[in-house]
Amino acid sequence: MATTLITGGTVVSATGRGEADVLIDGETIAAVLAPGSQLLGTDVAASVDTVIDATGKYVIPGGIDAHTHMELPFGGTNASDTFETGTRAAAWGGTTSIIDFAVQRYGERVQDGLAAWHEKAAGNCAIDYGFHQIVGGVDDDSLAAMRGLVDEGISSFKLFMAYPGVFYSDDAQVLKAMQVSQETGLLTMMHAENGPAIDVLAAQLADAGKKAPYYHGIARAWQMEEEATHRAIMLANLTGAPLYVVHVSAKQAVDQLAWARDQGWNVFGETCPQYLYLSLEEQLGAFSEEWGQFEGAKWVCSTPLRSSRDGHQHHMWQALRTNDIQMVSTDHCPFCMKGQKDLGLDDFRAIPNGIGSVEHRMDLMYQGVVTGKITLERWVELTSTTPARMFGLYGRKGVIQPGADGDVVVYDPNGHTRISAASHHMNMDHSAWEGFEIDGHVDTVISRGKVVVDGGQYHGSKGDGRFLKRGLSQYLI
């Protein structure tokens, strides 16, 4: 078995930092050692197969993106990253595990949806992967099938209060699914937006001739997110289900979560880089030679971008610092402009919803360290350690300690990254992050002991990644 020593770096965890060498034996972290240690009278560095010099750099646990949609059939097309292209791009960006969403819809069996996702991913992934289960059709059969998910290593499921006719669950269905959540320990993940009301608003805007991409965000008003978040919280409290609200973008929804947590309720929230950096005003002002005003379609996602005038982005950074929001995932759901987003050229309602960011999450969040919005330790906690704890992976993932998987990133705080569609590895013809500058760089990525990215080269292969059978969330009470 190959051995690797990462030497000279500053090892950063969710709770602190210190100078240490990290020894990886085969696929597993064997030891965290004082710098330059000897073992049995021999320099460790002299006895390993590979030495990685991390002098002046941070050594962190590999990122875990707990919210991706590779190959998702959605909006009349499929998300443009396959498990192969999307996980390779993730690796380039310092993410060594993803949790994607297997899909069940009305009239389909949960077991079949899960099997289909296994088929898409198996043998194709560059990094380790797990699944949540979308339950898009709550009925007696799917409720019964949910009880078997924990044994399959699927310890969380997602419901939608949005998208009537696609994934939508009404309150009665949410209540029933949450009762199963309470009984089994499955974590309920919620897309919290009032879908039926949003659809009315969207139709009224379109009827009034307001069909540009920007109106997507107007129809999906913050009140729709706040209201649904509150409703989800109350239903979870009533049933005793643990609740995790995905892709929170409105400050009022954050306040609902903070209020519930202040009551001592077991409620959590995730946000995404787009809700920290991008705004509805930028989307309104977007224009290009090629697309004109339709340029704004690049940022059509749900929940939508919010107004910077109302301070949502600032509030969200603050919530990350104060732990009102506990995690940052991407909701990676990429669509190309040509042939996909342009399905909605004449009407925003037909634009496939989604942004691709799986490659850039670690960098974009590191920039929050540079600008003093979060600490270095909080960066690791938000992007790796809490995702591992939240979704039943901790110990194996999310931490650098003996016995953990050898998932390690060497991050250079003196490096520089410029994000562009010309250089990214996601299967997209544009970048939602075009021209963003990051004061740091992912130098080396090790996935279960294998160096997959180093020196600007990719050394991994399709099929390196294995399915992660997850345990229950550490946050259950």
> In the chain, what's the furthest Cα-to-Cα distance?
79
- Shortest reach from residue 427's CB to ligand DUC, in Å: 16
For residues 186 and 308, give the distance between their C-alpha atoms in angstroms, rounded to a whole number. Answer: 35
The residue behind tokens 């969710």 is 14
Residue 431 interacts with which of ligand DUC, Zn ion, none, CB < 5 to 8 Å by class:
none
Query: Does position 331 bind Zn ion by CB under 5 A?
Result: yes
For residues 145 and 156, give the distance between their C-alpha atoms in angstroms, rounded to a whole number. Answer: 13
Answer for which of 132, 191, 430, 466 binds ligand DUC (CB under 6 A) is: 191
24 within 8 A of 30, measured Cβ to Cβ: yes
Q: Which residue is nearest to Zn ion (CB)?
A: 191
The residue behind tokens 């520089």 is 416
Please identify, using beta-carbon distances, which residue of 75 and 94 lies nearer to ligand DUC: 75
Nearest to 453 by CA among 48, 96, 71: 96
Query: Does position 312 bind ligand DUC by CB under 6 A?
Result: no
Please identify, using beta-carbon distances, which residue of 74 and 366 lies nearer to ligand DUC: 74
Please identify, using beta-carbon distances, which residue of 331 and 405 lies nearer to ligand DUC: 331
From the number of C-beta atoms within 10 Å of its C-beta (0-12, 13-18, 19+), residue 3 rates as: middle
| Residue 39 identity (one-letter amino acid) | L
| Residue 182 identity (one-letter amino acid) | Q
Q: Which of residues 434-463 bind ligand DUC (CB under 6 A)?
A: none
For residues 405 and 6, give the distance between their C-alpha atoms in angstroms, rounded to a whole number. Answer: 15
Query: Does position 133 bind ligand DUC by CB under 6 A?
Result: no
- Shortest reach from residue 159's CB to ligand DUC, in Å: 11
Answer for which of 64, 135, 205, 333 binds ligand DUC (CB under 6 A) is: 333
Size of the site for Zn ion (CB under 5 A): 2
Query: Does position 361 bind Zn ion by CB under 5 A?
Result: no
- Shortest reach from residue 282's CB to ligand DUC, in Å: 17
Size of the site for ligand DUC (CB under 6 A): 9
Please identify, using beta-carbon distances, which residue of 249 and 444 lies nearer to ligand DUC: 249
- Region from 87-95, 179-187, 328-336, 369-377 binding Zn ion, contact rule CB under 5 A: 328-336
For residues 328 and 361, give the distance between their C-alpha atoms in angstroms, rounded to a whole number. Answer: 8
Angle at 435 between CA 433 and CA 437, to 5 degrees: 95
Query: Does position 341 bind ligand DUC by CB under 6 A?
Result: no
Site string for ligand DUC, 285-304 (x = CB under 6 A): ----------------xx--
The helix-helix angle for 312-322 and 251-262 (nearest 10°) equals: 30
Query: Does position 191 bind Zn ion by CB under 5 A?
Result: yes
Where does 308-375 have alpha helices with state H? Answer: 312-322, 361-370
Residue 315 interacts with which of Zn ion, ligand DUC, none, CB < 5 to 8 Å by class:
none
Please identify, using beta-carbon distances, which residue of 18 and 339 lies nearer to ligand DUC: 339
Residues 6+ apart with CB under 8 A from 326: 268, 269, 270, 382, 386, 390
Please identify, using beta-carbon distances, which residue of 45 and 197 lies nearer to ligand DUC: 197
| Residue 41 identity (one-letter amino acid) | G
Answer for which of 61, 62, 354, 387 binds ligand DUC (CB under 6 A) is: 354
39 within 8 A of 32, measured Cβ to Cβ: no
- Shortest reach from residue 72's CB to Zn ion, in Å: 8
- Shortest reach from residue 371's CB to ligand DUC, in Å: 26
Query: Does position 306 bind ligand DUC by CB under 6 A?
Result: no
Angle at 121 between CA 116 and CA 126, to 5 degrees: 175
The helix-helix angle for 251-262 and 222-239 (nearest 10°) equals: 20
Please identify, using beta-carbon distances, which residue of 231 and 469 lies nearer to ligand DUC: 231
Residue 354 interacts with which of Zn ion, ligand DUC, none, CB < 5 to 8 Å by class:
ligand DUC
Answer for which of 25, 30, 61, 69 binds ligand DUC (CB under 6 A) is: 69
CA atoms within 13 A on the CB side of 98: 32
Residues near ligand DUC (CB under 6 A): 69, 74, 191, 301-302, 331, 333, 353-354
Residues that bind Zn ion (CB under 5 A): 191, 331
